[in-house]
Amino acid sequence: MQQLSNKVSLITGAAQGIGQATALKFAREGAIVIVCDIHQDAIDDTVKQCQALGAQAVGHVVDVTQREQVDAVVASVKAQFGRIDVLVNNAGITQDARLVKMTIEQFDRVIDVNLRGVFHCAQAVADTMIEQGQGVILNASSVVGIYGNFGQTNYAASKFGVIGFTKTWSRELGPKGIRVNAVAPGFVHTPILASVPDNVLKDMETRVPLKRLGQPGEIANVYAFLASDEASYVNGAVIEVSGGMTV
Ligand code: NAD
pLDDT at residue 18 in the model:
98
* CATH class of segment(s) 8-186+216-236: alpha beta
pLDDT at residue 195 in the model:
81
pLDDT at residue 200 in the model:
87
Ligand 1: atom nearest CA of 92 is 32
- Which residues belong to the active site? 155
pLDDT at residue 194 in the model:
85
The domain limits of the chain are 8-186+216-236
CA of 237 to the centre of ligand 1 (A): 21
CA of 128 to the centre of ligand 1 (A): 25
What is the mean pLDDT for each group of 10 consecutive residues in the chain (247 residues)? 96 98 98 98 98 98 98 98 98 97 98 98 98 98 97 98 98 98 97 87 94 97 98 98 96
Ligand 1: atom nearest CA of 141 is 44
E strands in the chain: 8-12, 32-37, 57-61, 86-89, 135-140, 178-185, 238-241
CA of 219 to the centre of ligand 1 (A): 12
Give the C-alpha distances (Å, rounded to integers) separating 136 from 26, 59, 173, 196: 14, 20, 10, 33
Q: Is 240 in the pocket of ligand 1 (CB under 6 A)?
A: no
